[in-house]
């Protein structure tokens, strides 16, 4: 072992090295925010997302219509004062369905990506840190999940689990797992060679403590960026399942399901497909812009050319 | 030279083995798909309309009274003979039903992949030679929209524009070349955007290299510098994206086929999920994944042809 590692193996030194909290961390956050603010497109993404969240949260204030109440006498009405975005084939107010649907679509995105992080990050960390057979098994598992092209993994899982809100979240969440495994494994492989990790080994800390207290916190920046970008992907996939009729079931409003229902009326009422698609597009665009900016702010080395 | 050939063989063997292991893993998941469903797998595979005799025969056929690993062995042996079971809906062999659907999906995916590769590489390379120009900004905007837009929505919007309002192209079906245009554009949009982004980034990096400056200094025309010196060296990361995009195209085909009523495997998959034709679902998922694994293998081997510096690791 080199002298430098032995030097840093004293407990005091190790604590200074491994504790990400404190002033340097605060300064990093401030610097990151300043970099983020200079990123005009990232700010545009943030504004877009804040706007969409505000609209979804303020739904009861913005419309007095019940998004699920049917009224066949006013079916497929064009835009009017009473129904600013018209009504659907069952006479339900489109604006109310879009606003309330946003709550569910955004929630599905967050819960699915949360599931992906909760499963993928520890697996990636253990894979990178342990190496050997554990690494091989976890990597083959990720390979197998990744060999279901794109949308197909979530679709296959829904085919097994059945339709409905909970199964959509599980299916989309599991589809996001392999990318987190790969990402965290890569970060951990480089972090485990750092002096402060070797120092933690040297003072006899347990492996689990080293992984979860010292290695993982330092591997989180790319995870946060990936999670943000995955939110856009999760919303797209969940809406895709809804569009095919395999997602959240009617009459609950959800953007993808609305788009799927509206396609039958594409000739008579194109708005029924235009509006839900537009909000899905804006949400995904927002997360993509925000994620790109976050990448530049949190880790300038990762930013694209 | 001989050492290089033997290294390549070793690499080839490694990659083939890794692909085979992944394929085997996929087959395990596909096998388990039906076993984890609640109820009797024989009933599930036979479909809702099957008689009790049908179910009993299938139970013996599949060896469902055997332990799980023996059942998997039987499944694998049948697979090796191209036997994917029978469709619960039509009672026809899954493989026979799949063949024409596979052809339709491959037509759509390959035409889209070719379109996406040419358009993406051309647009990205053009933007990289004029960084921060108006075209570059426009391309950034278009690619950002391209990767954020739901494929199925783009398809519906194209139908509204070109089939409903302009009446230029058919809204659905698979008759003639005209019916291929809208599905191809829909499916390719996302990939064009990603490939263009990657090409621009990769080209910008390469154009800053010294050998590009040398090529310019010795008086080569800009087109030749870009095409022969820069693009070739920028191609490896671009190829990775194109390879991965083929998978996205296959996955995206499910939604695109559903929008346009294109009679491919994706549409059949959706129909089979709704009619609980699990033998068909298993077959389609297996074919989709195998195609994707083989494409990735082909891309990995192509690297070596394009860039001899790549180590076989």
Chain A residues whose beta carbon lies within 8 Å of the beta carbon of residue B291: 149
Peptide bond into A251 cis (omega under 30): yes
Which of A79-83, A300-304, B192-196, B238-242 has the weakest average pLDDT?
Answer: A300-304
Q: Do B305 and B8 form a contact (C-beta atoms < 8 A)?
A: no
pLDDT > 60? residue B137: yes
* Confidence at residue A23, expressed as pLDDT on a 0 to 100 scale: 59
Which residue out of B21, B142, B152, B207 would a mutagenesis test of the A interface target, given it has the greatest number of A Cβ atoms within 10 Å? B152
**Paired residues of A93 in beta bridges:** A87
The answer on B156 and B49 residing in a single domain is: no
Chain A residues whose beta carbon lies within 8 Å of the beta carbon of residue B253: none
* Confidence at residue A52, expressed as pLDDT on a 0 to 100 scale: 95
Distance from CA of A41 to the nearest CA of B (A): 10
Distance from CA of A198 to the nearest CA of B (A): 27
Residue-wise pLDDT for B259-295, tens only, equals 999 999 999 999 998 888 888 999 999 999 999 999 8
Which of B25, B147, B255 is facing A144, going by the closest CB pair?
A: B25
Which of B48, B80, B112 is a domain's end point?
B80
pLDDT > 70? residue A86: yes
- Phi, psi (deg, nearest 5) at residue A183: -60, -50
Which residue out of B20, B88, B146, B156 would a mutagenesis test of the A interface target, given it has the greatest number of A Cβ atoms within 10 Å? B156
Measure the CA–CA gap between A256 and A267, rounded to whole angstroms. Answer: 19
Residue-wise pLDDT for B299-312, tens only, equals 888 777 776 665 55
The answer to whether position A1 is within a domain reads no
The answer to whether position B86 is within a domain reads no
Residue-wise pLDDT for B151-186, tens only, equals 899 999 999 898 888 888 887 777 778 888 999 999
pLDDT > 80? residue A269: yes
The answer to whether position A7 is within a domain reads no
The answer to whether position A13 is within a domain reads no
Interface contact A149-B270, CB threshold 8 A: no
pLDDT > 70? residue A27: yes
pLDDT > 80? residue B119: yes
The answer on B123 and B32 residing in a single domain is: no
The answer to whether position B71 is within a domain reads yes
Mean pLDDT of B112-131: 92
Whole domain around residue A245: which residue ranges? 38-62+93-304
Mean pLDDT of A180-207: 90
* CB contact set of B154 (below 8 Å; sequence gap of 6+): B186, B189
* Confidence at residue A294, expressed as pLDDT on a 0 to 100 scale: 86
pLDDT > 70? residue A4: no
Band (A20; pLDDT cuts 50, 70, 90): very low
* Confidence at residue A75, expressed as pLDDT on a 0 to 100 scale: 83
Distance from CA of B150 to the nearest CA of A (A): 6
Number of domains in chain B: 2
Radius of gyration of chain A (CA): 23
Residue-wise pLDDT for A155-167, tens only, equals 999 988 888 899 9
The answer on B166 and B21 residing in a single domain is: no
Whole domain around residue B301: which residue ranges? 94-307
Interface contact A263-B156, CB threshold 8 A: yes
Band (B313; pLDDT cuts 50, 70, 90): very low
What is the sign, positive or negative, of the torsion defined by CA atoms of A146, A149, A150, A151?
negative
In SS3 terms, A135-176 reads as: HHHHHHHHHHHHCCCCCHHHHHHHHHHCCCHHHHHHHHHHHH
Chain B residues whose beta carbon lies within 8 Å of the beta carbon of residue A267: 164
Interface contact B273-A246, CB threshold 8 A: yes
Task: Using a CB–CB cutoff of 8 Å, tell me whether A106 touches chain B.
Answer: no
The answer on B128 and B63 residing in a single domain is: no
Task: Using a CB–CB cutoff of 8 Å, tell me whether A303 touches chain B.
Answer: no
Nearest chain A residue to B206 by CA distance is A305
The answer on B224 and B132 residing in a single domain is: yes
The answer to whether position B154 is within a domain reads yes
* Confidence at residue A295, expressed as pLDDT on a 0 to 100 scale: 83
Interface contact A259-B149, CB threshold 8 A: no
* Confidence at residue B308, expressed as pLDDT on a 0 to 100 scale: 63
Radius of gyration of chain B (CA): 24
Residue-wise pLDDT for A197-215, tens only, equals 889 989 999 988 888 888 8
- Assess: ipTM above 0.90: no
Interface contact A151-B252, CB threshold 8 A: yes
- Phi, psi (deg, nearest 5) at residue B300: -60, -40
The answer on B100 and B65 residing in a single domain is: no
Residue-wise pLDDT for B191-238, tens only, equals 999 899 889 988 888 888 888 888 888 888 888 888 888 888 888 788
The answer to whether position B89 is within a domain reads no
The answer on B134 and B108 residing in a single domain is: yes
Number of domains in chain A: 1
Residue-wise pLDDT for B29-51, tens only, equals 999 888 877 777 788 778 777 88
Chain B residues whose beta carbon lies within 8 Å of the beta carbon of residue A160: 33, 36-37
pLDDT > 50? residue B4: yes
* Confidence at residue B312, expressed as pLDDT on a 0 to 100 scale: 52
Higher pLDDT: A299 or A151? It is A151
Higher pLDDT: A211 or A118? It is A118
Distance from CA of A241 to the nearest CA of B (A): 9
The answer to whether position A71 is within a domain reads no
Chain B residues whose beta carbon lies within 8 Å of the beta carbon of residue A147: 22-23, 25-26, 289, 292-293, 296
CATH code of residue A280:
1.10.3720.10
The answer on B34 and B139 residing in a single domain is: no
Interface contact B153-A280, CB threshold 8 A: yes
Classify burial at A134, counting beta carbons within 10 Å of its beta carbon; exposed 0-12, middle 13-18, buried 19 or more. Answer: middle
The answer to whether position B47 is within a domain reads yes
Taking the complete model, does pTM exceed 0.90, yes or no? no
Chain B residues whose beta carbon lies within 8 Å of the beta carbon of residue A273: 153, 156-157, 160
* Share of residues in chain A with pLDDT > 70 (%): 90
Measure the CA–CA gap between A117 and B285, rounded to whole angstroms. Answer: 25
DSSP per position, B151-181? HHHHHHHHIIIIIIIS--S-SS---TTHHHH
Band (A304; pLDDT cuts 50, 70, 90): very low
Q: Do B186 and B158 form a contact (C-beta atoms < 8 A)?
A: yes
DSSP per position, B8-41? HHHHHHHHHHHHHHHHHHHHHHHHHHHHTSSS-H
**Paired residues of B86 in beta bridges:** B93
Which of B160, B202, B292 is facing A147, going by the closest CB pair?
A: B292
Interface contact A155-B269, CB threshold 8 A: yes
Interface contact A150-B156, CB threshold 8 A: no
CATH code of residue B269:
1.10.3720.10
The answer on B98 and B74 residing in a single domain is: no
Which residue out of B20, B150, B273 would a mutagenesis test of the A interface target, given it has the greatest number of A Cβ atoms within 10 Å? B150
Interface contact A151-B251, CB threshold 8 A: yes
The answer on B254 and B221 residing in a single domain is: yes
DSSP per position, chain A? --HHHHHHTSHHHHHHHH---SHHHHHHHHHHHHHHHH-HHHHHHHHHHHHHHHHHHTHHHH--S-TT---GGGTT--S-SSSTT-B-TT--BHHHHHHHHHHHHHHHHHHHHHHHHHHHHHHHHHHHHH-HHHHHHHHHHHHHHHTS-TTHHHHHHHHHH-SSHHHHHHHHHHHHHHHHHHHHHHHHHHHTTSHHHHHHHHTT--HHHIIIIIIHHHTHHHHHHHHHHHHHHHHHHHHHHHHTT-SSPTTS--HHHHHHHHGGGTTT-THHHHHHHHHHHHHHHHHHHHHHHHHHHH-GGGS--
Distance from CA of B2 to the nearest CA of A (A): 31
On average, the pLDDT of chain A sits at 86
How many beta-carbon pairs below 8 A join chains A and B?
128
* Share of residues in chain B with pLDDT > 70 (%): 96
Interface contact A288-B147, CB threshold 8 A: yes
The answer to whether position A53 is within a domain reads yes
The answer on B270 and B134 residing in a single domain is: yes
pLDDT > 50? residue A38: yes
The answer on B152 and B13 residing in a single domain is: no
* Confidence at residue B243, expressed as pLDDT on a 0 to 100 scale: 81
Distance from CA of A244 to the nearest CA of B (A): 8
pLDDT > 90? residue B5: no
Mean pLDDT of A16-20: 43
Q: Do B41 and B65 form a contact (C-beta atoms < 8 A)?
A: no
Mean pLDDT of B100-112: 94
The answer to whether position A141 is within a domain reads yes
Which of A141, A149, A244 is facing B251, going by the closest CB pair?
A: A149
Which of B34, B51, B80 is a domain's end point?
B80
The answer to whether position A124 is within a domain reads yes
The answer to whether position A110 is within a domain reads yes
Mean pLDDT of A257-277: 91
């Amino acid at each position: 072992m080199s002298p430098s590692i032995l030097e840093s193996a004293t407990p005091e030194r190790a604590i200074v090295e491994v504790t990400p909290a404190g002033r340097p961390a605060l300064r990093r956050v401030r610097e990151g925010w300043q970099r983020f603010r200079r990123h005009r497109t990232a700010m545009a993404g943030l504004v877009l997302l804040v706007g969409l969240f505000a609209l979804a949260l303020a739904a009861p204030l913005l419309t007095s219509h019940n998004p699920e109440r049917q009224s066949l006498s006013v079916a497929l009405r064009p835009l009017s004062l009473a129904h600013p975005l018209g009504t659907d084939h069952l006479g339900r107010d489109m604006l109310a369905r879009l606003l309330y649907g946003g709550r569910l679509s955004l929630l599905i995105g967050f819960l699915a990506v949360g599931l992906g992080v909760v499963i993928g990050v520890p697996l990636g960390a253990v894979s990178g840190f342990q190496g050997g057979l554990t690494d091989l098994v976890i990597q083959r598992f990720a390979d197998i999940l990744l060999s279901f092209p794109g949308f197909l993994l979530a679709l296959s899982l829904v085919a097994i689990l059945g339709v409905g809100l909970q199964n959509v979240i599980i299916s989309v969440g599991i589809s996001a797992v392999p990318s987190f495994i790969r990402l965290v494994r890569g970060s951990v492989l480089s972090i485990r060679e750092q002096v402060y990790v070797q120092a933690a080994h040297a003072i006899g800390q347990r492996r689990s403590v080293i992984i979860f207290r010292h290695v993982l916190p330092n591997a989180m920046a790319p995870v946060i960026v990936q999670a943000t970008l995955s939110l856009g992907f999760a919303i797209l996939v969940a809406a895709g399942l809804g569009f095919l009729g395999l997602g959240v079931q009617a009459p609950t409003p959800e953007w993808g399901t609305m788009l799927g229902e509206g396609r039958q009326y594409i000739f008579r009422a194109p708005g029924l497909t235009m509006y839900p698609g537009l909000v899905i597009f804006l949400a995904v665009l927002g997360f993509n812009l925000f994620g790109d900016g976050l990448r530049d702010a949190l880790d300038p080395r990762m930013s694209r050319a | 030279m001989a050492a290089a050939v033997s290294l390549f063989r070793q690499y080839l063997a490694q990659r083939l083995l890794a692909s085979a292991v992944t394929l085997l893993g996929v087959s395990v998941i596909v096998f388990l798909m039906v076993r984890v469903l609640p109820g009797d797998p024989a009933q599930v595979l036979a479909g809702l309309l099957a008689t009790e005799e049908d179910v009993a025969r299938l139970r013996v056929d599949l060896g469902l009274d055997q332990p799980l690993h023996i059942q998997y062995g039987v499944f694998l042996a049948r697979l090796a003979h191209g036997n994917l079971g029978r469709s619960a809906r039509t009672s026809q062999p899954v493989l026979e039903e799949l063949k024409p659907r596979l052809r339709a999906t491959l037509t759509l995916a390959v035409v889209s992949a070719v379109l996406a590769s040419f358009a993406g590489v051309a647009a990205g390379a053009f933007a990289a030679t004029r960084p921060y120009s108006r075209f570059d900004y426009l391309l950034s905007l278009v690619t950002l929209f391209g990767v954020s837009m739901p494929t199925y929505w783009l398809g519906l919007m194209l139908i509204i524009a070109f089939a409903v309002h302009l009446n230029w192209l058919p809204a659905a079906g698979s008759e003639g070349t005209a019916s291929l245009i809208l599905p191809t554009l829909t499916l390719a949009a996302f990939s064009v955007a990603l490939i263009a982004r990657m090409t621009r980034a990769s080209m910008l990096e390469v154009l800053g290299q010294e050998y590009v400056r040398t090529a310019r200094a010795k008086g080569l025309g800009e087109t030749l510098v870009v095409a022969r010196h820069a693009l070739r060296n920028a191609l490896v990361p671009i190829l990775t994206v194109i390879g991965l995009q083929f998978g996205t195209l296959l996955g995206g085909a499910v939604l695109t086929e559903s929008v346009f009523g294109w009679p491919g495997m994706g549409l059949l998959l959706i129909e089979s999920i709704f009619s609980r034709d699990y033998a068909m679902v298993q077959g389609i998922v297996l074919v989709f994944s195998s195609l994707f694994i083989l494409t990735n293998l082909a891309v990995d081997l192509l690297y070596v042809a394009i860039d001899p510096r790549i180590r076989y690791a």
